[in-house]
């Protein structure tokens, strides 16, 4: 029984010594057993590339830059079915007149530069009896947008003089505010 224990301990010590010897050789890089040195440089190439695609519940933003007036209009829209599961390159091909500013599976932002002025430019003028609202076109021409119910008989002389020469207003909110000032 003592012999078995003695041989077991001897084999255990021999195994530890052998393991230590090969680990030292492996760390120093001197052993052909622990690893093989490559003579040629190996280039790792990715074999599977998963391109990001637009999800069905992604948000869509449209940004329009108007070059002639310098304004930017941002709109959110419902994602069209034709854009679902498309990659950035596929969207760029379909919407070639738009730039893809942001792209992820959950959001898409398209932008466009337009050589025009935005549709938020108005001029208030005095018509025959009421205040009229005109839309300013790119050429500088104005087009009747709406006639208000504000009669000129309720306006002061200063307001009448200002309206005869035209009051420029930018934005629908400012337009409503300017109209309320005359009511």
Q: How confident is the model over 27-51, as pLDDT tens digits?
A: 766 555 544 455 555 565 555 667 7
Query: How confident is the prediction for the chain on average, in pLDDT?
Result: 81
Mean pLDDT of 87-111: 88
Q: Supply the pTM of this predicted model.
A: 0.57
CATH 3.10.20.420 domain residues, the chain: 59-114
pLDDT of residue 143: 86
HSE-CB for 41 with a 13 A CA cutoff: 2
3-state SS assignment for residue 35: coil
Q: Is the pLDDT of residue 70 over 80?
A: yes
| Residue 114: partners with Cβ closer than 8 Å, 6 or more residues away | 64, 65, 66, 67
**Where do runs of H (alpha helix) occur along the chain?**
2-28, 88-94, 157-165, 172-182
pLDDT of residue 130: 84
pLDDT of residue 34: 42
pLDDT of residue 85: 87
**Gap between the Cα atoms of 87 and 52, Å rounded:** 6
Task: Work out the pLDDT band at 120, boundaries 50, 70, 90.
Answer: confident
Cross-strand partners of 131:
126
pLDDT of residue 24: 77
Task: Work out the pLDDT band at 55, boundaries 50, 70, 90.
Answer: confident
pLDDT of residue 63: 93
Q: How far is CA 37 from CA 23, 30, 32, 43, 154, in A?
A: 16, 10, 8, 15, 97
pLDDT of residue 35: 45
Handedness of CA 54, 56, 57, 62 (dihedral sign): positive
Question: Residue 136 burial (CB < 10 Å; 0-12/13-18/19+)?
Answer: buried
* CATH class label, 59-114: alpha beta
Digit-coded pLDDT (tens) for 142-168: 888 888 888 878 788 888 888 888 888
Q: Is the pLDDT of residue 102 over 50?
A: yes
Q: Which has more confidence, 109 or 40?
A: 109
């Amino acid at each position: 029984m003592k012999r078995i224990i003695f041989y077991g301990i001897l084999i255990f010590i021999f195994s530890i010594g052998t393991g230590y010897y090969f680990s030292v050789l492996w760390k120093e890089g001197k052993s052909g057993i622990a690893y093989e040195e490559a003579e040629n440089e190996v280039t790792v190439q990715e074999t599977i590339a998963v391109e990001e695609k637009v999800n069905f519940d992604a948000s869509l933003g449209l940004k329009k830059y108007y070059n002639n007036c310098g304004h930017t209009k941002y709109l959110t829209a419902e994602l069209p079915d034709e854009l679902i599961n498309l990659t950035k390159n596929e969207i760029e091909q379909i919407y070639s007149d738009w730039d893809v500013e942001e792209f992820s599976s959950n959001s898409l932002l398209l932008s466009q530069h337009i050589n025009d002025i935005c549709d938020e430019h108005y001029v208030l003028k005095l018509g025959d009896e009421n205040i009229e609202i005109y839309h300013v076109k790119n050429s500088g021409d104005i087009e009747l947008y709406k006639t208000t119910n504000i009669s000129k008989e309720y306006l002061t002389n200063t307001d009448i003089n200002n309206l005869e020469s035209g009051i420029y207003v930018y934005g629908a909110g400012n337009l409503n505010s300017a109209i309320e000032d005359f009511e």
